[in-house]
Structure 1
Amino acid sequence: MQRDEKSSSLDVDVKTVPDIAHGRKGLGGDDALLAKLGYKSEFRREFSLIETVAFAFSIMGIVASVSSTFSFPLSTGGHVGMVWGWFIPCAFVLCVAASMAELASAMPTSAGLYYYSAKLANPKHSALASWITGWANITGQVSLVCSIDFTCAQMITTAITVGSDGAVVLGTGATYGILLAILVSHGLVCSFSTRILARLNLFYAVINVGTSVAAIIVLLVCSGDKKVSTKDAFTLFENNTGWANNGWAFLLAFTAPMWTFTGYDSAAHISEEVAGAARAAPIAIMAGVGATQALGWLILIAASFATSSVADLLTTDLPLPMGQLFLNVLGKRGMLAIWSCIIVVQFVTGAAQGVDASRVVFAFARDNALPGSRWWKQVNVHTQTPVNAVWLVIICAALCGLLGFSEAALTSLAGASVIGLYTSYATPIFLRITSGRDKLVPGPFTLGRWFIPIGAVAVAWVAFINVLLFFPSGQHTSAEDMNYAVVLIMAVFIYAAGSWIVSAHKWFTGPISNLESAPPSVNEKSSAQ
């Protein structure tokens, strides 16, 4: 794989970038800032601030994500796992989000995390840092698309089972078929123009918030006398993991919120489609994470009160225990009503994640870092979006979905997506507080003198959570319940490391400029008309 002849190595002094962000406003200022970063504007900037916030919030799909991962806190601590297994990681995730927001404000480009790593690393290791970050992020992005959509398929099979009173129980093959249908529909949606995608995210946010509030209310009100006491809701601990050590079992409850708190880097990856990106991207990251944390905690507190028997939920025949909880509280009709809304939330979450993943693939291909980059970096002339990259993501997610024929492998895929994403989050943050400490003058959003302690906490947390996610759910494991996350992550690592050693170190020098070879900016075209 060779570079385009007109491409050149990107050499940007990031200290000069914020001057443009502060000094110029509107599309011209955004495009000038992007040019200073080394890229020609190829998208229409049709995401407003509120739409960018809606995108970052919707991609975490709070009520659907809690419903998808409810089995983790149930087994790793019961009521304590639900309430405190969510609350404790929130402060640490905010540190990660704040550090990322500062970088997104200073360097608003779709390349995002791997671009930050390249600019903040020691020049000798810049390309390698960018390569590692990029592959880790793409691994997490694509596997997360699969995880979200497979869970959406499981939600649909749960509804079918409840609706038929248990007469119809779809197997793994049928679930995979539903997954493929969902992926194809997402491919079509993600191929829309930026303007349509921006407007859709407002709908995503409304249905997300509305369903979350509805779930909180019905769990608290409709559970009636079956609610547990306040003491039990906040302090009753049950270890159903198979681990003898209760403390370690409780730590595994962190898996659920960490799977939910992914994708908020999306605001950085769509920054080339956002007006006022240096300001909007960090606001979207912080607002999206904060709102998700608050709503998620309220949903889980309500679920804790409504759970009269943890064992009953863990032994349900339904694919997802949250479905059984709603069935216990609301009955068949009520459960199907709220569950239908949750399915919609999960569906739009997958659609938003598909957009995010496609922008990462596009950006990495734009820097000629992927096999077949010349195909994946193309922007459709009709929609002005990277349609080829969209369908590459869909195909790769469909292949990952084959792991669904093994429940252990599918569960491991969720862990692998978190490990991949958070590794890509932590790498530029680590470089920011080490080799890049004096290389960056922040944009409109800055952590000031707190960037080092906040960044250090963020990196330490990611290191801890990555190790945690490699452990199996029980102390004694077999092939059926082993955690295969290490296998999945190592497969990508071996490929990325092998390709680097064999050839990539000869031609990949990190982000490269496309200013000379790119056509006129779409925003320049609009202004000229």
Structure 2
Amino acid sequence: MSKELKGKGEAPQVTTHSVDHGKPDTQAIWANDDKLLAQLGYASEFKREFSLIETIAFSFSIMGVIASVSSTFSFPLVSGGHVGMVFGWLIPCLFVMTIAASMAELASSMPTSAGLYYFSAKLAPPKWSALASWITGWANVTGQVTLVCSIDFTCAQMITTALAVGSDGRISLGNGPTFGILIAILFAHGIVCSAATSILARLNLFYVLVNVGTTIAAIIALLVCSGNKGERVSTKDAFTLFENNTGWDNGGWAFLLAFTAPMWTLTGYDSAAHISEETAGAAKAAPIAILVGVAGTATLGWLTLIAASFATSSVSDILSTSLSLPMGQLFLNVLGKQGMLAIWSFIIVVQFVTGAAQGVDASRVVFAFARDNALPGSRFWKKMNPYTQTPVNAVWLVMVCSGLCGLLGFSATALSSLAGASVIGLYTSYAAPIFLRITSGRHKLVPGPFTLGKWYMPLGIIAVSWVTFIVVLLIFPGGQKVDAKGMNYAVVIIMAVFIFASGWWILSAHKWFTGPISNIEHDSRESTYDEKQREIEAADYD
């Protein structure tokens, strides 16, 4: 299926889908997907190799439940102990589901790699459409790139933890070697993420098997082995014992800081929207993947932390560990050296594939934003590789920027702030289109196969309110007495990007950035989606 392209700059290479004789409906599904994408204003440039199952696997794998829980285990330990582990995870997950549901509706209506900033552009008032798209896009790009760095740096820390345990403490790598491992991981991810879509789709089936299998094995091991050693705490203590190790006098506020762990884990599920141009039946597959990915990660993560709570006989002992990650100490206490190294090896693999999935997601965001000329050097970053038909240039831009962010790893405080900045950036970009959906976009959304109906308003209000609360929470330092070492620099990172993007907008971008740019012949300024929006508005007001 070919399309005539408008001669503005470089015409994108249009994918021609071949018939899959084993699946007689495949060509029809692809044709419908490409038609919907054209209505949104874009020509099809990717191969649609992701099936529904593979899209779900991608959304689930990008959150890497067991590896993410292991990475962030220190937060609930410090902020509430056993109560922080169990309820510090459960409460945020319930609110995140409202965000996921709202996002799923938008992804079903507008399945394009542009994702969140495209949603904002279409739902904002015409006068503010370009600015809403600009803000959402830069927030999302910031969150995506910093999240790649956070995931891969933690993977490097997991490797140093394994080396320390395996050598009985004789090998203790500092910040320099850890940064070197990070660079090696980013290089490996650059190669993987540059692969063709068909390879990436199949890899995600492997990712999800390793992820789920390792998580279930960790849950069973913690429960069974802690019982065998007689270290398992009582059910009452596992669910109700509260310990405040934050430095804040107010125990309630200290408990709230435990929310950082699930909020860092439950990120990246917008990935299903960003790969929608590579997905067959995207309008249905994307919302299903978002909801299943979040619900599955939330459930398995909660079960993992319940098991960890039962297995933690002393919170203070775990916190006093010399290992990079306290979860490594818990596994060492419960499983012994050999058992810990066995399960930890699989967790490292999970974290590695999580970083690979996030690299794909971030590269698609960068590609889409560059396609709409919103990044410096957009002409180069939006190029598609003729052999793999993937945005290889965008992939390596993400890896280089993530490596530069990794320099913050020479300060533990700065690295922790980077993780907070990734959550703030991503959730700001999640909340922006949802806020517009419940305000100026109430009568603009063209419903897709998945719609919330009248529930969009209460769910949207809860989602936006929660993001507002959590962004404020993530800016606060971990302790009440703040010095240079204990400062939360997330606000500094976010403000640096905000000042850059705002300055560029005021000085230049407001003159030429108009939001998503149609690259197909039927209309370079207005998509069929806009026409449908006006029809819906007219019908509502009539």
TM range (shorter): over 0.9
Query: SS at the partner of 2:294?
Result: helix
Q: CA deviation at 1:442?
A: 1.3
Query: SS at the partner of 1:223?
Result: helix
Q: In 2, distance between residues paired with 1:57 and 1:480?
A: 35
1:390 to 392, 395, 408: 395
Q: In 2, distance between residues paired with 1:482 and 1:158?
A: 25
Give CA-to-partner distance per residue, 1:112-142, whole Å, 9 cap, x none.
Answer: 0000000000000000000000000000000
Q: CA deviation at 1:91?
A: 1.1
Query: SS at the partner of 2:449?
Result: coil
Partner amino acid for 1:361?
V
Q: CA deviation at 1:6?
A: 5.4
Partner amino acid for 1:54?
A
TM-score, reference length from structure 2: 0.91
Partner amino acid for 1:370?
L
Q: CA deviation at 1:514?
A: 1.1
Give CA-to-partner distance per residue, 1:481-510, whole Å, 9 cap, x none.
Answer: 110000000000000000000000000000
Q: CA deviation at 1:292?
A: 0.2
Partner amino acid for 1:450?
W
Match of 2:375 in 1: 370
CA contact (8 A) 1:51 1:199 kept: yes
Q: CA deviation at 1:90?
A: 1.1
Q: CA RMSD in A?
A: 1.4
Match of 2:236 in 1: 231
Q: CA deviation at 1:81?
A: 0.1
| Residue 83 of structure 2 is aligned to residue 80 of structure 1 | yes
2:447 to 442, 445, 457: 442
Q: CA deviation at 1:87?
A: 0.4
Q: In 1, distance between residues paired with 2:173 and 2:94?
A: 40
Query: SS at the partner of 1:238?
Result: strand
TM-score, reference length from structure 1: 0.94
Q: In 2, distance between residues paired with 1:454 and 1:195?
A: 36
Partner amino acid for 2:258?
A
Q: CA deviation at 1:480?
A: 0.9
- Structure 1 stretch displaced more, 184-193 or 25-34: 25-34
Partner amino acid for 2:295?
G
Give CA-to-partner distance per residue, 1:390-416, whole Å, 9 cap, x none.
Answer: 000000000000000011000000000
Match of 2:272 in 1: 267
Q: CA deviation at 1:215?
A: 0.3
Gaps of 5+ in 2: 1-5, 12-26, 524-542
Match of 1:160 in 2: 163
Q: In 1, distance between residues paired with 2:276 and 2:8?
A: 27
Give CA-to-partner distance per residue, 1:129-166, whole Å, 9 cap, x none.
Answer: 00000000000000000000000000000000000000
2:45 to 38, 42, 45: 42
Gaps of 5+ in 1: 9-23, 519-529
CA contact (8 A) 1:7 1:516 kept: no
| Percent of residue pairs bearing the same amino acid type | 77
Match of 1:62 in 2: 65
Q: In 2, distance between residues paired with 1:311 and 1:418?
A: 27
Match of 1:468 in 2: 473
Query: SS at the partner of 1:60?
Result: coil
1:496 to 493, 501, 507: 501
CA contact (8 A) 1:39 1:515 kept: yes
Partner amino acid for 1:339?
W
Partner amino acid for 1:491?
A
Match of 2:124 in 1: 121
Structure 2 counterparts to residues 340-355 of structure 1, below 5 A: 340-355=345-360
Match of 1:419 in 2: 424
Partner amino acid for 1:287?
V
Give CA-to-partner distance per residue, 1:68-123, whole Å, 9 cap, x none.
Answer: 00000000000000000000011110000000000000000000000000000000
Query: SS at the partner of 1:226?
Result: coil
Q: 1:78 to 1:391 in 2, by over 3 A?
A: same
Q: In 2, distance between residues paired with 1:268 and 1:75?
A: 35
Query: SS at the partner of 2:79?
Result: helix
Query: SS at the partner of 1:54?
Result: helix
Q: 1:241 to 1:451 in 2, by over 3 A?
A: same
Partner amino acid for 1:146?
C
> How many equivalent residue pairs?
501
Partner amino acid for 1:200?
L
Partner amino acid for 1:150?
F
| Residue 40 of structure 2 is aligned to residue 29 of structure 1 | no
| Residue 311 of structure 2 is aligned to residue 288 of structure 1 | no
Partner amino acid for 2:201?
A
Q: CA deviation at 1:516?
A: 3.6
Partner amino acid for 1:126?
S
| Residue 321 of structure 2 is aligned to residue 311 of structure 1 | no
| Residue 328 of structure 2 is aligned to residue 323 of structure 1 | yes
| Residue 209 of structure 2 is aligned to residue 203 of structure 1 | no
CA contact (8 A) 1:6 1:517 kept: no
Query: SS at the partner of 2:520?
Result: coil
Q: In 1, distance between residues paired with 2:326 and 2:384?
A: 42
Q: Which portions of structure 1, spanning 4 or more consecutive aligned residues, are displaced by more than 2 angstroms?
A: 3-8
Q: CA deviation at 1:441?
A: 2.5
1:251 to 229, 252, 256: 256
Partner amino acid for 1:461?
W
Query: SS at the partner of 2:429?
Result: helix
Match of 2:488 in 1: 483
| Residue 440 of structure 2 is aligned to residue 429 of structure 1 | no
Partner amino acid for 2:396?
W
